[in-house]
Amino acid sequence: MRILVILAHYFAAEAKPRHASTDGSREADRKAAVEAAIRSWRAHFGPSAMLDVGSRSFHMGPRSEDTVDIVVTTANEKHLMTPEFCTAMGVRVAKHTLDQPRMLGFTAQGLFAAWRNLYDLFVFSEDDLKINDPAFVDKIVWFNRTFGPRRVLMPNRVELNPAGHAPKTYIDGDLAPALAADMKRHVTDEETLYGSPFGREGVFQRARNPHSGFYALTRDQLSYWMSQPHWLDRDCSFVSPLESAATLGIAKTFSIYKPFGASSGFLEIEHLDDRFSTMKLPVRDRL
């Protein structure tokens, strides 16, 4: 399988920052996050080596049967990618002129359309999301084949932060009821799906919060989305342009599910930040 991964990445320090991407004091953190996100894709889908302790040598081992091309979409020079890192990781940088940098996620859709015949799977990700699972893509493909192409599985975002309320915090909780219902009105479907991925029981629920900052579509799914009247409409009515670019077009086209309950860990993506898991909120014993 040939996979295209596009990360939306922006950084420009501002005098009165409202986001981490504009906070000069967070520059090193943001650079480390986007590089870690890219390395995670290369680690799981690149070549491997085996250490032979007896001969004190490395042997080149098998590589993934899947290949990954990585593109970072940016607003001109407002980014933290270095030529050295891009060369080492095989990353292409696509630069765009934007009046509103928070619209950056929409540029990925245009790139997907331009390269729609070159890949089997099209992945969009915000720049601080890291995969930790070598079966990550296999699980997305299993869901697509099991439940059909008009349904999309989104990963649950987690923060792995021992200093938070728990070592692992899921950060995709409920939206306000009215907003959650509004997102579901675009496509009606079953609330819960049951399956047996890899021999284990799995539960998948219509997402209570469809946003993951991430999506992955097959070529057929991308073609179906492109055939809809809302394709590239740049509708920003879901929370903000940032969330809308990652989520609203998908929600208008497909029914979005996430692993639920005891199955929540089936598909996860790590948010390389702790701003959610350290929020000062009351803690309840159970959901």
Q: What percent of the chain has pLDDT over 70?
A: 99
Average confidence score pLDDT of the chain: 92
Tens of pLDDT, residue by residue over 155-169, are 999 999 888 888 898
CATH number of 2-48+63-271: 3.90.550
Q: Kindly report the pTM of this predicted structure.
A: 0.93
Q: Is 176 helix (H, G, I), strand (E, B) or coil?
A: coil
For tokens 């799995």, the residue is: 202
Residue of 194, 171, 166 whose CA lies nearest to 263:
194
Grouping H, G, I as helix, E, B as strand and the rest as coil, residue 6 is: strand
Q: Are 14 and 22 in contact (CB under 8 A)?
A: yes
Q: How, if at all, do strands 2-8 and 67-75 pair?
A: parallel
Statement: residue 236 has pLDDT above 90: yes
Query: Which residue carries 């932060």 as its tokens?
Result: 161
pLDDT tens digits along 17-35: 878 888 898 999 999 999 9
pLDDT at 72: 98
Q: How confident is the model at residue 196 (pLDDT cuts 50, 70, 90)?
A: very high
Does residue 63 have a pLDDT over 80? no
pLDDT of 286 over the 70 cut: no
Average pLDDT (45-65) is 86
pLDDT the model gives residue 230: 97
Q: What pLDDT is recorded for position 49? A: 87
Distance CA 9, CA 230 (A): 24
CA neighbor of 131 nearest in space, from 210, 71, 45: 45
- Contact at 8 Å (CB) between 272 and 37? yes
DSSP letters for 102-144: GGHHHHHHHHHHHTTTT-SEEEEEETTEE---TTHHHHHHHHH
Model confidence band, residue 280 (pLDDT cutoffs 50, 70, 90): confident
**Any idea what DSSP says for residue 223?**
H
Q: What angle do CA 263, 269, 272 make, to 5 degrees?
A: 135
Residue 252 in this model has a pLDDT that exceeds 90 = yes
* 9 phi/psi in degrees, rounded to 5: -135, 130
How many C-beta atoms lie closer than 10 Å to residue 117's C-beta? 7
Would you say residue 229 has pLDDT above 80?
yes
**CA–CA distance, 77 with 12 (Å, rounded to integer):** 9
* CA distances from residue 227 to 17, 60, 222, 230, 257 in whole angstroms, order as listed: 39, 44, 9, 9, 22
| pLDDT tens string 64-75 | 788 999 999 999
Least confident of 8-12, 82-86, 107-111, 184-188: 184-188
